[in-house]
Amino acid sequence: MGLDALLDAFLSVLNGGSLTFLMAGVLLGLTFGVIPGLGGTTALALLIPVTYTLDPLSAMYLAGGVMGATSFGGSISAILLNTPGTAPNAATCFDGYPLARQGKAGMAIGASATASALGGLIGLFTLLLFIPVAREVVLSFGSSEFFLLTVLGLAAIAVSIKGKLLRGLIAACIGLLLAFTGANQFTGETRFTGGINYLWEGIPLVPALTGLFAISQMIELALKGGSVADDATVKEAKNMRIKGVSEGVFAVFKHWPVLLRGSLIGTVIGAIPGLGGTVASFLSYSSTAQTAKDRDTFGKGNIKGVIAPEAANNAKDGGSLIPTVAFGIPGSAETAVFLGILVLHGIEPGPQILLQNEREVYGLIVALTVSAIAASVLGLIFARLLVLITRIDVNIVVPVVVTLSLTGVYVLEGRMADVAVATIIGIFGYLMIRFDYPRLTLVIAFVLGEIAERSYHQVRLISDGNVIEYMLGRPISVILIIATIVTFFLPAMRKLPWRRMVGRAI
């Protein structure tokens, strides 16, 4: 099913005008991706009024171009400046930035470009396989599975913080506190808002993450001075940067299980509405870091730590179309905007979307595929040039990044309060860096906290209070419970004398 339509879409994209829209989308996506604070959702939201005058298919090419390119763009700033360009790239910082500091930025960008392109392709291929059963997939994920997935995510993070358990938990609690700000979905009452109606809808994600990662990192860099790459490594790295990029490309093929796992995690998480790229890339990173034999080198510049999140990040776009083709509902913020564009053109997205709007859906899939590859090729071509950013004096980098990212935060909703949130959280984030508290656990708790609370209350109401009984009656829930338990006991099992056996089994 649909193969003819897919071929048609591929052929039609090669005809003149469509390619122009697609490439315009790719360039826009890369640019918005690179700039911290500006992401795919911002780019698409700004584009909506523009697409009004286009026909639906051209609008899809433009949107697909943007969607496919932003996440790779965002990994560039994550690697070079330790500042994720978009929220899901945060996980790429952990190993990407240490690589850049060691003068291996070219290798990291090469790996990220390749993992992004291949991850995107695997995600879309999985989507095509899933289309016939998309309905069942969506229906089998209910409130119970949502809740357990958030628990799994929180558990994975809890065990991934090495040696800083208490600090990690403190940061996570602050994350939960931030997540619970705003209206309670069950009583309608507002919490922790201090009478400010800006906070009714909670602390917005993009300004918070921009503050926590971009602003705080810029404060850190500004206070330290110099440039991102160490002076010593800059001199050493002369040879490295020439062959670095292709080394990164080959690393992805060498570590293909990491690529595959990342892509699958990305697709599955993408398919679940409300979880999104940030969760996908963190889960992919933490599961790779935990099960790797050389797990001690993660966080110090392990190339697998770049491959895993970037593969997941791009694969999630394919996955997020699964609920769209099954029920016409969005699987991510980007697909929500995509459906908005259809509504604007007088098309009501519904469960029949694949039958009634085949051209637009396949147009988007083709655009995503071409975009993921085009963005990576562009990235590889310019990688050597981009690496020079790490040699620029931070006194030039910092003002530029701060201005661009705060502007981006303002542009998204046009609210000055968002800029204030980014600034306050930015200062807080710097204090966390300064006193060695992990920002990762805060982010994960912040992203997952609200979904966890909401879905727990739903399960409680649906099951008439017999939460555990209800969960045990659902096969996917049982699998998730087992996965959570394994995650918790994995570090303990490794310490036991028979750890080699366990290591092999996992």
Residue 185 contacts another protein per CB under 8 A: yes
Stretch that binds another protein, among 1-9, 86-94, 408-416, 478-486 (CB under 8 A): 408-416
Q: Work out whether 184 is an interface residue with another protein (CB under 8 A).
A: yes
Query: Binding another protein by CB under 8 A: which of 187, 293, 495, 504?
Result: 187
Pick from 29, 36, 96, 273: which binds another protein (CB under 8 A)?
Answer: 273
Binding segment (CB under 8 A) for another protein, from list 44-52, 170-178, 253-261, 441-449: 44-52
Question: Minimal distance in Å, beta carbon 48 to another protein?
Answer: 4
Please spell the DSSP secondary structure of 57-115, one letter per residue.
Answer: HHHHHHHHHHHHHHHHHHHHHHHHHS--SSGGGHHHHHHHHHHHHTT-HHHHHHHHHHH
191 strand-pairing partners = 182
CB-based contacts of 437: which residues, under 8 Å, 6+ apart? 164, 167, 168, 170, 171
Contact between 49 and another protein by CB under 8 A: the answer reads: yes
H, E, C per residue of 233-248:
HHHHCCCHHHHHHHHH
The residues in 328-367 that bind another protein, with binding defined as CB under 8 A, are 328-330, 336-337, 339-341, 343-344, 346-348, 350-352, 356
- Which residues are CB-neighbours of 472 under 8 A, at least 6 positions away? 478, 481
Q: Identify residue 244 by its one-letter amino acid code.
A: G
Interaction between residue 52 and another protein (CB under 8 A): yes
Query: Which of residues 348 and 393 has its CB atom nearest to another protein in the complex?
Result: 348
Please give the radius of gyration of the chain, using alpha carbons only, rounded to the nearest integer: 22
Q: Which is nearer to another protein, 19 or 329 (CB)?
A: 329
Residues in contact with another protein, counted by CB under 8 A, come to a total of 50
**457 part of the interface to another protein, by CB under 8 A:** yes
Residues in 210-269 at the binding interface with another protein, rule: CB under 8 A = none
What is the rounded CA–CA span in Å between residue 127 and residue 492?
A: 37
3-state helix, strand, coil in the chain (%, to 5): 80, 0, 20
CA–CA separation, 245 and 413 (whole Å): 38
Q: Out of 454, 471, 484, 487, name the contact with another protein by CB under 8 A.
A: 454
Binding site for another protein (CB under 8 A): 45, 48-49, 52, 138-140, 142-143, 183-189, 197-198, 200-201, 273-274, 327-330, 336-337, 339-341, 343-344, 346-348, 350-352, 356, 413-415, 454-455, 457-458, 461-462, 464
